[in-house]
Amino acid sequence: MDAVDRAIVNQLQGGFPICERPYAEAATKLGLTEDELLQRLDSLLENGTLTRFGPMYHAERLGGALTLAAMKIPAADFERVSGIVNGFPEVAHNYAREHAFNMWFVLATEAPERIEQVIGEIEKAAGYRVYNMPKLEEFYVGLRFTV
Amino acid sequence: MNAHAILAHAGFEAATVLDAADRRIVLATQAGLPRVSRPYHAIAEQLGVSADEVMARLRRMLETGVIRRIGAVPNHYALGYRANGMSVWDVPEERIRDLGCKIGALDFVSHSYHRPRYLPEWPYNLFAMVHGRDRAEVEAKVTQIAVLLGDADRGHAVLYSTRILKKTGLRLGS
């Protein structure tokens, strides 16, 4: 990654214009041509530096419901429960974390009432309590990684 | 607070109503914009609508917060941010909004949320995701948060992720 790639990553994490030729406009600000910016973005996406280039949608505002849930699973039973949890299509991400609360997953459903149902189904199948931790308020969501 | 009350309380984050044309635009762009000179025209052509309509709807979704922002979504692992610590804090409920905003303004915090406690097992009500190149860097940043919170920090923990068990992402279904 050279200085140009770094400038693209640092300066284009938001604010991409909505106009007829947005890449040309963004390129000018970076001192590049439209073609150079397009090629750079293609490479950054291909080599995995960027996961995506485009609109970042606010999941809850698209409709449906979203929550974060946690479980406390004994080490010996972790893999079995992980398999059960991951088997639910409503589970979007699931992370193992170092803590007594060692399994953390995001549930996303079209119907809001389905969240409670899925939690009940997971508790029944896994045999452990699911702690529902929906966000009550959001103070900041943004990623300003600099390289 | 029982689960039902929590959901009701969270109801302020009510879904914005998108119409069918908005949904088609979301579906066409959620994996990314085409990398061509006129990307919004390309989407318009694909959907059989005018480019002006696509751009007007995107602008409205940006204004109403349906779109958080448009641009590059970096893979933080690829950028060298390999340590991700979920820092969780027990702070007085009546000060949480002020404290949450202060923490959210730190440039190394990517998310800051108020979430429910489950006493006595889970006393933490403020969550802040902290990214760093390694754990030492995350620890240093967590210390900065603790200093900022001062006596409002009645206890905290940092939960490091050790493994991704599943990651399919959030997608609007067609």
Nearest to B172 among A16, A62, A100 (CB): A62
Give, in order, the Cα–Cα distances in Å from B69 to each of A142, B21, B164. 9, 20, 26
As a whole number of angstroms, the distance between CA A35 and CA A38 comes to 5
What pLDDT does residue B87 have?
97
Which residues in B16-155 belong to E strands, given as ranges?
67-74, 83-89, 109-114, 126-132
Number of residues that make up chain B:
174
- ipTM for the assembly: 0.75
- pLDDT tens digit string along B28-44? 998 899 999 999 999 99
Q: Which residues of B touch A84 (CB under 8 A)?
A: none
Mean pLDDT score of chain B: 87
What pLDDT does residue A25 have?
98
What pLDDT does residue B7 have?
35
Mean pLDDT score of chain A: 93
pLDDT at A87 > cutoff 50: yes
DSSP per-residue string spanning A87-131: TSTTEEEEEEESSSS-EEEEEEESSTTHHHHHHHHHHHHHSS--E
CB contact under 8 A, A62 and B41: no
Is A31 part of the contact surface with chain B (CB cutoff 8 Å)?
no
Is A6 part of the contact surface with chain B (CB cutoff 8 Å)?
no
What pLDDT does residue B110 have?
81
Q: Which residues of A touch B75 (CB under 8 A)?
A: 48-51
What pLDDT does residue B156 have?
98
Is A61 part of the contact surface with chain B (CB cutoff 8 Å)?
yes
Is B130 part of the contact surface with chain A (CB cutoff 8 Å)?
no
Q: Which residues pair with B166 in a beta bridge?
A: A94
Kindly state the average pLDDT of the residues B82-109: 92
Is B110 part of the contact surface with chain A (CB cutoff 8 Å)?
yes
Question: Band of the pLDDT at A147, cuts 50, 70, 90?
Answer: low
| C-alpha distance from B101 to closest chain A C-alpha (Å) | 5
Cβ-based neighbours of A88, under 8 Å, separated by 6 or more: A107, A118, A121, A122
Q: Which amino acid is at A76?
A: A
